[in-house]
């Protein structure tokens, strides 16, 4: 297990150790983009399961208006 | 732009749009052009199919690769790796828990222009104008006969309502059409045919098309040579 973890740990260490703003900022931007994509997928899945905007918003830690404004149109029935 | 296209080449472009609609996509990409290009009765299509690039395979590529690729496309894999996130691992897990259709729909939603967020409600007069304009349009526009989905390869059909209205070509797809014309010019061919579209498709390096071609085990360079060879024999 430890041996399998090693490369990942090493990479994290590298990223954290790297004080190069170029690497760090890129990583942050990529992470934000990834989070955005996953949010779309999860919100869509939740809506399809009949979750209310309120319930979704609670899990995301935002107001229901925020989620609805962001996704109401994008995911809404066309 | 299309005035020099042969009948078959024009038909191919129309088919590409129909494929996009059938697959539930709101855009026409190079992959839809490829799907149409391997489905014609022209020699270039036969060459592609002989190299394993069949309509079934292309369609599987679009639906399969496209689903996850669409949602995760354009993300900086290397940057994520520096903070210990393995994008391929994330993708594998997500793909294992969500169906390809859910992924495809999420990808569409993710790429939909977030700027088109509903703003403040327009004034009443503006709403009234819009209402009248819609009513006018509804009265004057004759509903189009509705594109028949191509039956030959229509195995996968997107659920829900078909995308309607204008289905735009992606910049990459426009690039393909531009390269197509260039291929014809470069070969001093007076007309733009299916073979030029096929040649243009072998030149792009990004997006789904190269992935699909390599999945078919047909390197773009070999395809290109085979297509050129086929037409050299013919002429």
Flag whether residue A12 sits within 8 Å of chain B, measured between CB atoms: yes
Topology of the domain covering B2-234 = Double Clp-N motif (1.10.1780)
Write down the pLDDT at residue B130: 86
Residue carrying the six token digits 């983009």: A33
pLDDT value of residue B176: 94
Residue B125: its pLDDT value, please? 87
What are the domain boundaries of chain A?
2-75
Residues of A in contact with B114 (CB under 8 A): 70, 74
Residue A5, pLDDT score? 47
Contact A26 B79 (CB under 8 A): yes
Residue B68 confidence (pLDDT): 57
- pLDDT at position B205 is 83
**Using an 8 Å Cβ cutoff, are B185 and B178 in contact?**
no
pLDDT of residue B116: 53
Q: Is the separation of the CB atoms in B167 and B21 below 8 Å? A: yes
Measured torsion, CA atoms of residues B184, B41, B229, B191, in degrees rounded to the nearest 10: -20
Judged by a CB distance cut-off of 8 A, whether residue A35 touches chain B is no
Distance (Å) from the alpha carbon of A1 to chain B's nearest alpha carbon: 17
Cβ atoms of B23 and B158 within 8 Å: the answer is yes
What's the Rg (C-alpha) of chain B? 20
b/e string for B117-149 if b means 16 or more Cβ within 10 A?
Answer: eeeeeeeeeeeeeeeeeeeeeeeeeeeeeeeee
Residues of chain B scoring pLDDT < 50: 146-153
Give the per-residue pLDDT at B218: 85
Q: Which of residues 72-91 of B touch A (CB under 8 A)?
A: 72, 74-77, 79-87, 90
Q: Is B76 exposed, middle or buried (0-12, 13-18, 19+ CB in 10 A)?
A: middle
Q: How far apart are CA B199 and CA B189, in angstroms?
A: 13
Interface A-B, measured as beta-carbon pairs within 8 A, has a size of 84
CA angle, B20 then B17 then B69, to 5°: 30
Give the best residue of B93, B110, B113, B165 to mutate against chain A (max A CB count within 10 A).
Answer: B110
Across the interface, which of A16, A33, A73 has its CB nearest the CB of B117?
A: A73
Q: Alpha helix locations (H) across B73-119?
A: 77-82, 87-97, 100-111
Beta bridge partners of B141: none
Q: What Rg value do the Cα atoms of chain A yield, rounded? A: 18
Residue B119 CA neighbour count, 13 Å, CB half: 4
Residue of chain A with shortest Cα separation from B112: A74
- Give chain A's residues under pLDDT 50: 1-3, 5, 8-9, 12-13, 16-17, 78
| pLDDT for the residue B144 | 53
| Residue B207, token pair as written in the block | 């997006």
* Total length of chain A: 78
Phi/psi for B192 (5° steps) reads -100, 115
Rounded Cα distance, B227 and B18, in Å? 25
C-alpha–C-alpha distance, residues B36 and B16, integer Å: 5
Tell me if A23 and B112 make a contact (CB, 8 A cut-off): no
């Amino acid at each position: 297990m430890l041996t399998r973890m090693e490369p990942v740990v090493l990479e994290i260490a590298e990223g954290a150790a790297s004080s190069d703003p170029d690497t760090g900022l890129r990583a942050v931007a990529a992470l934000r983009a990834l989070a955005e994509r996953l949010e779309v997928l999860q919100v869509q899945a939740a809506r399809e399961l009949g979750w209310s905007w309120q319930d979704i918003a609670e899990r995301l830690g935002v107001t229901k208006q925020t989620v609805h404004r962001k996704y109401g149109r994008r995911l809404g029935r066309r | 732009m299309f005035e020099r296209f042969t009948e078959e080449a024009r038909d191919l472009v129309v088919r590409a749009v129909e494929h996009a609609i059938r697959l539930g996509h709101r855009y026409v990409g190079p992959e839809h052009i490829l799907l149409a290009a391997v489905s014609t009765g022209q020699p270039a299509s036969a060459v592609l199919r002989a190299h394993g690039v069949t309509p079934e395979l292309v369609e599987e590529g679009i639906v399969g690769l496209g689903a996850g690729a669409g949602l995760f496309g354009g993300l900086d894999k290397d940057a994520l790796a520096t903070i210990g996130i393995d994008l391929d691992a994330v993708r594998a897990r997500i793909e294992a828990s969500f169906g390809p259709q859910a992924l495809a729909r999420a990808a569409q939603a993710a790429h939909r222009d977030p700027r088109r967020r509903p703003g403040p409600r327009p004034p009443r007069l503006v709403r009234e104008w819009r209402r009248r304009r819609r009513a006018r349009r509804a009265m004057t526009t004759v509903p189009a006969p509705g594109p028949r989905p191509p039956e030959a390869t229509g195995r996968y059909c997107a659920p829900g309502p078909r995308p309607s209205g204008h289905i735009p070509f992606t910049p990459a797809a426009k690039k393909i059409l531009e390269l197509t014309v260039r291929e014809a010019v470069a070969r001093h061919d007076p007309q733009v045919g299916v073979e030029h579209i096929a040649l243009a498709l072998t030149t792009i390096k990004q997006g789904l098309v190269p992935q699909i071609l390599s999945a078919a085990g047909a390197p773009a360079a070999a395809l290109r040579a085979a297509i050129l060879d086929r037409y050299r024999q013919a002429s």
